[in-house]
Amino acid sequence: MDAMQSAEQAVIIEAARAYVEDIGVIDMTSAGVLAGHLMSAEVLLREIVAAFAPINA
């Protein structure tokens, strides 16, 4: 793993951590809010997977 990939991983993990910290209380009766959080979580998870994928993949 090179330094650039390690830095990218750290940035992505920090972004996910900050997102979760900022969520606060979720209104479980609002389908729009829930869908928005799910879509954001999916994007963050995809970015995490890409950051940790082998460089040659």
Averaged confidence pLDDT in the chain: 90
Whether the per-residue pLDDT at 49 is higher than 80: the answer is yes
pTM: 0.75
Higher pLDDT, 1 or 47: 47
Whether the per-residue pLDDT at 14 is higher than 90: the answer is yes
The tokens describing 42, both together, are: 């999916």
Sorted by sequence, the CB contacts under 8 Å of residue 13 that are 6+ apart come out as: 48
CB-based contact 52:1 (threshold 8 Å): no
Residue 57: what pLDDT?
53
pLDDT band for 42, please (50, 70, 90 cuts): very high
